[in-house]
């Protein structure tokens, strides 16, 4: 029984050594494959088909090493396999493997006990590092070659001796622009009124990352321009959202004002067409469970229809005067809301129509046609907001 304990303990130590060596081989095999993949990514990055920053490549190598380690540690390495390998290495004539076999079969005759004792005695003097010394596997040599190739692909093209004057000038311009963008990102984060807003932090972080990559020469001109275009659009959208959030008046307030203006026009016997225009715009802006963007879109569609009618010359002078009054009141109601830009265009259209209606009869027709055309353009622009 004592012999079995000694044999199991010492062969177990040998097995752990074998498992570590197997793990090392798998780690180098995984690093070899990942480094070749990284080389392909670097080539694609040079062609500006993708972006492959060096820190991402380093992360891929680390991940590959971890996967290789896990794969190596989970490979089956039994006591019998270890014993047979040790017998072969040390020329023990199957002493250890026979002892393991008898131990696992549970044989108990005197001859078996003697062989177990002999195997245990031989195992006592075995040192795992001496039995299974570490030797660099073939995969390690292949990995070294592939890693040198990867390093060359990353750094050699960056040496100025391999670059034309035009390329060097372009890279210097990108580095200068990168520094400027990093500075702008810091100022954007520092001076923006919504410092704690998520969109501000995200845009500033994207600007910082782009500036850093450009300063370090890790992004090409084409990629830099594409990313700068996306950033500019994000900044415009963010500014628009912040401006809308800070509007002093809501669409609900504009809706109520338009309803009141329509009712007031009807009470004092004003133009039914003008009252209807204001009532229709109020209905377009009503909440009805819709998001603000849907309400703004409904108002824009109304303005587009009005623009088409004006430009087609379908309005009589008295209808144009009523439209001018209605547009003025609609512009006043929408001032300071999300339709503030449309409000200014509507006010301009109202002034043009009102000015034309005051002219003498001989001039009226031509002036009214011109005014309706200009007002139609203003309403079309308002409808495009």
Interior angle at CA 274, CA 369 and CA 321, nearest 5: 35
d(CA 349, CA 347): 5
Q: For residue 50, give the DSSP letter.
A: S
Q: Per-residue pLDDT for the chain (385 aa), expressed as one digit of tens each?
A: 577 788 888 888 889 999 999 999 999 999 999 999 999 998 888 777 887 778 889 999 999 999 999 999 988 888 888 888 888 888 878 888 888 787 877 766 777 778 778 888 878 888 888 888 888 899 999 999 999 999 988 887 665 554 556 666 666 777 787 777 777 777 766 665 454 466 667 777 777 777 777 776 666 667 777 777 787 777 777 666 665 555 556 667 778 888 888 888 888 877 787 788 788 878 877 877 776 667 777 777 777 777 677 666 666 667 767 777 777 877 777 777 766 677 777 777 777 767 766 655 455 455 555 555 555 555 555 545 5
Buried b (16+ CB within 10 A) or exposed e, 106-123: eeeeeebeebbbbbbebb
Cα–Cα distance measured from residue 216 to residue 154, given in angstroms and rounded to the nearest whole number:
13
Domain extent listing, the chain: 2-154, 164-245, 251-383
Residue partners of 335: CB distance under 8 A and separation at least 6: 249, 343
Q: Whole-model pTM?
A: 0.48
Q: How far out from the chain centre does Cα 372 lie?
A: 47
State the DSSP string of 336-358. TSTTHHHHHHHHHHHHHHHHHHT
28 contacts 134 by C-beta, under 8 angstroms: no
How would DSSP label each residue in 152-197?
HHHHGGGSGGGS-HHHHHHHHHHHHHHHHHHHHHHHHHHH-S-TT-
């Amino acid at each position: 029984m004592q012999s079995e304990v000694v044999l199991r303990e010492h062969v177990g130590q040998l097995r752990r050594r074998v498992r570590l060596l197997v793990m090392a081989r798998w780690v180098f095999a995984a690093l070899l494959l990942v480094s070749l993949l990284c080389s392909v990514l670097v080539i694609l990055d040079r062609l500006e088909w993708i972006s492959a920053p060096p820190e991402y490549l380093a992360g891929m190598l680390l991940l590959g090493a971890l996967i290789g380690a896990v794969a190596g540690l989970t490979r089956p390495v039994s006591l019998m396999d270890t014993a047979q390998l040790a017998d072969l290495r040390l020329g023990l004539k199957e002493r250890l493997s026979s002892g393991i076999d008898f131990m696992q079969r549970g044989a108990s005759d005197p001859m078996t006990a003697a062989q177990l004792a002999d195997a245990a005695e031989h195992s006592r003097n075995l040192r795992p590092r001496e039995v299974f010394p570490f030797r660099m596997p073939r995969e390690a040599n292949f990995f070294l070659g592939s890693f040198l190739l990867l390093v060359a692909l990353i750094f050699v093209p960056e040496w100025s001796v391999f670059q034309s004057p035009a390329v060097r000038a372009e890279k210097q311009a990108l580095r200068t622009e990168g520094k400027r963008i990093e500075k702008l990102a810091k100022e954007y984060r520092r001076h923006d009124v919504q410092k704690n807003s998520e969109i501000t932090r995200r845009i500033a972080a994207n600007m910082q990352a782009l500036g850093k990559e450009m300063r370090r020469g890790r992004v090409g001109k084409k990629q830099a321009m594409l990313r700068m275009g996306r950033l500019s659009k994000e900044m415009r959208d963010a500014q628009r959202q912040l401006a809308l959030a800070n509007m002093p008046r809501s669409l609900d307030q504009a809706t109520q004002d338009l309803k009141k203006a329509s009712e007031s026009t009807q009470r004092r016997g004003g133009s039914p067409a003008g009252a209807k225009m204001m009532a229709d715009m109020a209905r377009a802006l009503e909440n009805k469970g819709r998001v603000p963007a849907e309400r703004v879109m409904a108002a824009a569609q109304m303005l587009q229809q009005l623009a088409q009618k004006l430009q087609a010359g379908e309005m009589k002078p008295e209808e144009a005067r009523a439209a001018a009054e209605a547009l003025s009141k609609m512009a006043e109601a929408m001032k300071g809301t999300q339709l503030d830009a449309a409000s200014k265009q509507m006010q301009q259209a109202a002034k043009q129509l009102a000015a034309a209606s005051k002219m003498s009869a001989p001039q009226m027709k031509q002036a009214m046609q011109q005014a309706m055309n200009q007002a139609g353009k203003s309403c079309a622009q308002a409808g495009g907001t």
